[in-house]
Amino acid sequence: DAGVIQSPRHEVTEMGQEVTLRCKPISGHNSLFWYRQTMMRGLELLIYFNNNVPIDDSGMPEDRFSAKMPNASFSTLKIQPSEPRDSAVYFCASRISGRTDTQYFGPGTRLTVL
């Protein structure tokens, strides 16, 4: 099993640019989570999907952030326009809802907005 796959692993962009982060969950997992981790705020849940449907997006900081899950094997987190304060490591995690509570994390995308 390849585990949760995230791309890119590192992203450096300039303020105002659009950023798209990608995630491929573990095959068969039907819940997907996006987290943001910073030194100041720790690990924050941004949004999660269950069976491709967004369940709770209350953690999404602003309208500049959007997430989609067009199918069971792919999700994107988009920031438009990006700002320096968005610099963080973004993690995607997946799990099987209803069978196990364990989340499996991807390696993360380190985003730097200049």
Q: For binding to other proteins (CB under 8 A), which residues are involved? A: 4, 31, 33, 35, 42-45, 48, 50, 55-56, 59, 91, 93, 97-98, 101-108
- What DSSP designation does 62 have? S
Give me 12's structure tokens.
Answer: 């450096």
Task: For other proteins, give the closer residue by CB, 31 or 82.
Answer: 31
Taking the C-alpha atoms of residue 38 and residue 87, their distance in angstroms, rounded to an integer, is 8
For other proteins, the closer CB: 42 or 70: 42
Closest CA to 111 of 48, 49, 37, 34: 37
Q: Which of 40, 96, 44, 41 is nearest to 65 (CA)?
A: 44
For the CB of residue 79, give the shortest distance to other proteins in the complex, in Å. Answer: 20
The smaller minimum CB distance to other proteins, of residues 55 and 114, is found at 55
What residue type is 105 in one-letter code?
F
Measured CA angle at 101 (ends 86, 90), to 5 deg: 15
| Least distance in angstroms from the C-beta of 10 to other proteins | 11
- C-beta closer to other proteins: residue 31 or 75: 31
Least distance (Å) between residue 91 CB and other proteins: 6
In the complex, minimum distance from the CB of residue 113 to other proteins, in angstroms, rounded to a whole number? 19
